[in-house]
Amino acid sequence: MDMAYLRAHPEHLPTFLTHQRIRETPVHRGVSSASRLTLEDGASLFAKSWPDGDAPEGLFAAEAAGSRWLRRAGALPVPEIIVSLPNLIAMEWVEEGDAGRPAAELFGRGLAALHRAGAETFGAPWPGWIGPLPLDNTPSDGPWSSWFAERRLLPYLRISADQGALSGADIAVVEKIIKTIDSYGTEEPPARIHGDLWPGNLLWGADGRGWLVDPAAHGGHRETDLATLSLFGGVAHLDVIIGAYRAEWALADGWERRVPLHQLHLLLVHTAAFGASFRAAVRTAADAVLRG
């Protein structure tokens, strides 16, 4: 099997893998099982499957739809999806490189261009997933604040509460933010965003560019992507990225104060998916929102 054959017959990839007709090298990547596939013509692919058998319905379809939507903007590199099947997704392989200041500046400008490409509504035309959890992408005309509260905060607060990942006091603080979100956010039209842009989903390539991987893409607030870049230790050269972004497209006054609000979504996803080990991060962000 070479790349030309695979493009023409993507549905045959699982059979070739089952019969070990393709060299497969495991790699580490997120909640899915991941591997590097080497085809007969020497081309490589990055492939993901679900570790325990059948993937949740629509999981890989959502990633493929989001990746293609981001690629259409032509603003930042996104791996081309070669195969998208219910239980398997494969895309072009990106050789990793070092994050340097020129790459960070290029990425910041490109991220502004991606966001400027916009979206018809908040949400997306396809059902979403973020990590191992569904993401409600039901299209909405907004306003952003109520959409974010109802579709991005409340569902994961409920899951986190049901699983005992947050204390009663934690839940009360987040509920207060949801009820009074108009006091903290700023309204903007929907931007074309990655939607899960923590540092692990920005891949610095050997080509000197920052690649977007593992998207939960949808129409959202552009500050969300910028805020999540500083989570979990922060991405390399974040100051350069933000500076280049702002040179291309100014941010509304007070954007720094709103960073914890935008981070709260992804942090609640983590308590919902992975439990109480992320409880303190949720509470720290929620308290910062209330302090303004």
Of the candidate CATH numbers 3.30.200.20, 3.90.1150.10, 3.60.9.10, 3.30.43.10, the domain formed by 3-92 belongs to 3.30.200.20
* CATH superfamily label, 101-291: Aminoglycoside phosphotransferase (APH), C-terminal lobe (3.90.1200.10)
Nearest Cα to Cα of residue 268 among 163, 188, 187: 163
Identify the segments of the chain with pLDDT beneath 70. Answer: 29
Q: What is the rounded CA–CA span in Å between residue 203 and residue 210?
A: 6
Phi then psi for residue 21, to 5 deg, are: -90, -5
What is the pLDDT, as a whole number, of residue 108?
98
What is the pLDDT, as a whole number, of residue 178?
97
Tracing tokens 């992804």 back to the chain, one arrives at: 266
What is the pLDDT, as a whole number, of residue 240?
98
What is the pLDDT, as a whole number, of residue 155?
98
Query: Prior bond to 143 cis, omega within 30?
Result: yes
What is the pLDDT, as a whole number, of residue 29?
66
What is the pLDDT, as a whole number, of residue 194?
98
- Boundaries of every domain in the chain: 3-92, 101-291
What is the pLDDT, as a whole number, of residue 54?
86
Enter the pTM of the model: 0.95
Q: What is the rounded CA–CA span in Å between residue 262 and residue 275?
A: 20
Q: What is the rounded CA–CA span in Å between residue 227 and residue 74?
A: 22
What is the pLDDT, as a whole number, of residue 32?
80
Nearest Cα to Cα of residue 266 among 157, 115, 192, 137: 157
Q: At what angle do helices 259-274 and 279-291 cross, to 10 degrees?
A: 160
Nearest Cα to Cα of residue 196 among 214, 183, 170, 220: 214
What is the pLDDT, as a whole number, of residue 16?
87
Q: What is the pLDDT of residues 52-110, one digit of tens each?
A: 778 999 999 999 999 999 999 999 999 999 999 999 999 999 999 989 999 999 999 99
